[in-house]
Chains A and B, each alone.
Chain A
Amino acid sequence: MKKALFASILAAALPALADGNAQQPSLPNTTIVELKLGFYQPRVKDSPGVTGDPYVQTFGNSAMLLGEVEVDRALYHGYGFLGLGVSVGYAEKYAKALLADGTPSGEATGLIVLPIRVMAVYRYDVLAHVFHIPLVPYAELGGIAYPWWTNKGGMTETVNGEKGSGIRWGWGFTAGLALEMDFLNPSYAREAREDSGIYHFYLFGEFNDDFASNFGGVGINLGAAYFTFGLAFEF
């Protein structure tokens, strides 16, 4: 099945390559807005000095639902889309705080993170624009900041004077594949372009790995490897 799919893609691409017209047309510097969801479970157990897994101990082996909005702006749009992206996300997880014997208490505790990324973005949209294969592989690399805080009983949790909040810095990368939806209804896609300036719609899935541990410094490690899925609009 995979071989057949590869063969068909190759068959579609080869004629274009063979006739020497595989030039990416001049494209405007577009903006892409992405809305995505994923399940994020921080590597708290990898924090320096930690022997157990406080995340699992508190919340169980259940990831946080992460919602993100990302805006990518092309700085160059020729042989692919090269630009800068900014994303802001939000994830929270709540569970009952534990009593000293490990049983659940009557009050809730929570972990809230607000991942912020500033990334260099490259999207290989040549396949879609030149060879009419509606797939856009892409990659992102950049810096991240993870503002975070913990709650207990409705207030920021403080233990022995140490407030459970802060910002973790680091870096991260993303590798993804977007499916350009224009082929489903080309006439509708053309109308959307003319009427509202939306060049393309995408469905996408991506793998992210964030290293939010102050580059290996002391303190909580909020990095994670996780998948996100979503919808994108290219203006």
Chain B
Amino acid sequence: MRPLLAALLLLPALGEAQTLAVTINGAITSGTSTVPVLAFNAGSCGSTLGGSWTGTSLTTACTSLQIWVTASSCGTAPSTTNVPADVIIYTAQAGDLANGLATDTFTFLANILPGFSASGSACGSTVDFTNTVCAAVTLNTATNGCTGTNVQAPTVSLRYDNVPPLPPTVTLVPLDSQLSVRLSPSDATDTITSFQAQYAVEPTDGGTPNYIGVGGTIPVNNAAVTISGLINGTNYLVQGFSVDEASNVSVASTPVVGSPVLTLGFYANYLNDGGQPGGCGESVGGGPSALAFAALLVLGVARRRG
């Protein structure tokens, strides 16, 4: 009878899956990657990075829960043989887990990543590497001691990237008093997150161009900006910058020269062919005014009929 009762009491515990998840503050999943990545550059070397973990049904843990950073693969626990050595950044004792600890936060310094010693560099060096944040704990079983299920958290990547990306490819389309600027990544080894652009009147005396920023932060998925208010026939220099996921900014691209050009739309063609502006109701403010007129007319008729 007693074994049956014990089995019944165990059932709810057996029915619940054990989970473990780790979050690193600021890590995002983007592009085709399925792993969240926190990318940072030398500007964060002195910074403290933070994260948290949550788990369920870990009260039978027979080892401490450890969170560590490795330059290798994760495994079931920090390795004692990896070179460079894994860096443990958090430990929760088995007793605390048994007492119900199911979530906690932790911090660590950005400059402790094993990748620095692997590359023989230090934080601040112009290197680019990715390490992995791992977390695992082993659960007890009644019969086999501490050889039960090893619960591991999905990994999170930490990328130290202090290598500026290559500048973008800039193409210009001349428009009427405008230049349409298109930017495209030319760096296949880096993750470009945005672009910046500048333009200047091309100096005719060989002087230094006086560049003006345009478009602010230009998103990669809509990498186009139109520079307005230009003078047709004047040469303008346009250069672009790539910004990667660690906020590194490339050097400026080679300036591209473009010159806005007069274009003739339908109305210009109409006037050039001898057409006359004016007449009742002409030039009343364009599409919005016309739409407002249409709406009023329809509304008026509807009211009369109602």
**What is the interface of chain A, defined by CB distance below 8 A to chain B?**
44, 47-55, 57-59, 73, 84, 86, 88, 95, 97-100, 105-107, 109-112, 114, 116, 118, 145, 147-153, 156-160, 162-169, 214, 217-220
B291 in contact with A114 (CB, 8 Å): yes
B298 in contact with A152 (CB, 8 Å): no
**Residue in B173, B276, B284, B293 whose Cβ sees the most chain A Cβ within 10 Å:** B276
CA distance A211 to B304 in the complex (A): 26
CA distance A52 to B289 in the complex (A): 29
B301 in contact with A86 (CB, 8 Å): yes
CA distance A129 to B278 in the complex (A): 49
Is B206 an interface position by the 8 A CB rule? no
Given known contacts A153-B176, A217-B279, is B273 in contact with A54 (CB within 8 Å)?
yes
Q: Which residues of B contact A148 (CB under 8 A)?
A: 290
Q: Which residues of B contact A217 (CB under 8 A)?
A: 279-280
Report the nearest B residue to A164, measured CB to CB.
B267
Q: Which of B281-306 contact A (CB under 8 A)?
A: 281-287, 289-291, 293-294, 297-298, 301-302, 305
Q: Which residues of A contact B268 (CB under 8 A)?
A: 97, 152, 157, 159
A51 in contact with B173 (CB, 8 Å): no
CA distance A153 to B267 in the complex (A): 13
Q: What is the predominant secondary structure among interface residues of chain B facing chain A?
A: mixed
**Interchain CB contact (< 8 A) of A110 among B173, B261, B266:** B266
CA distance A50 to B271 in the complex (A): 8
Is B3 an interface position by the 8 A CB rule? no
B287 in contact with A109 (CB, 8 Å): no
A219 in contact with B278 (CB, 8 Å): yes
Given known contacts A105-B263, A111-B266, is B301 in contact with A97 (CB within 8 Å)?
no
Q: Which residues of A contact B297 (CB under 8 A)?
A: 116, 118, 145
A49 in contact with B176 (CB, 8 Å): no
Contact with A along B92-130 (1 / 0, CB 8 A): 000000000000000000000000000000000000000
A to B CB contacts below 8 Å, 14 in the list = A50-B270, A52-B274, A58-B266, A59-B266, A98-B264, A148-B290, A165-B285, A165-B286, A166-B282, A167-B280, A167-B282, A214-B279, A218-B278, A219-B275
A166 in contact with B284 (CB, 8 Å): yes
**Interchain CB contact (< 8 A) of A105 among B261, B271, B283, B284:** B261
Q: Which residues of B contact A147 (CB under 8 A)?
A: 289-291, 293-294
B265 in contact with A114 (CB, 8 Å): no
**Interchain CB contact (< 8 A) of B270 among A44, A98, A110, A152:** A44
A116 in contact with B294 (CB, 8 Å): yes
**Residue in B270, B285, B301 whose Cβ sees the most chain A Cβ within 10 Å:** B270
Q: Which residues of A contact B270 (CB under 8 A)?
A: 44, 47, 50, 54, 164, 220
A47 in contact with B275 (CB, 8 Å): yes
Q: Which residues of B contact A47 (CB under 8 A)?
A: 270, 275-276
Q: How far is the CB of B85 from chain A (nearest CB, A)?
A: 58
B282 in contact with A107 (CB, 8 Å): no
**Interchain CB contact (< 8 A) of A165 among B176, B271, B287:** B287
Q: Which residues of A contact B176 (CB under 8 A)?
A: 97, 105, 107, 152-153
Given known contacts A50-B274, A157-B267, A218-B279, is B294 in contact with A163 (CB within 8 Å)?
no
B284 in contact with A106 (CB, 8 Å): no
Is B45 an interface position by the 8 A CB rule? no
CA distance A95 to B269 in the complex (A): 13
Q: Which residues of A contact B261 (CB under 8 A)?
A: 99, 105
CA distance A127 to B297 in the complex (A): 34
Q: Which residues of A contact B274 (CB under 8 A)?
A: 49-52
B305 in contact with A97 (CB, 8 Å): no
Q: Which residues of A contact B287 (CB under 8 A)?
A: 112, 149, 156, 165
A168 in contact with B279 (CB, 8 Å): yes
B265 in contact with A152 (CB, 8 Å): yes
Given known contacts A49-B274, A116-B294, A147-B294, is B269 in contact with A98 (CB within 8 Å)?
yes
Q: How far is the CB of B234 from chain A (nearest CB, A)?
A: 16
Is B131 an interface position by the 8 A CB rule? no
Given known contacts A48-B276, A49-B276, A86-B298, is B290 in contact with A152 (CB within 8 Å)?
no
Report the nearest A residue to B279, measured CB to CB.
A219
Q: How far is the CB of B141 from chain A (nearest CB, A)?
A: 67
Q: Which residues of B contact A149 (CB under 8 A)?
A: 286-287, 290
Given known contacts A98-B264, A99-B261, A153-B178, is B298 in contact with A49 (CB within 8 Å)?
no
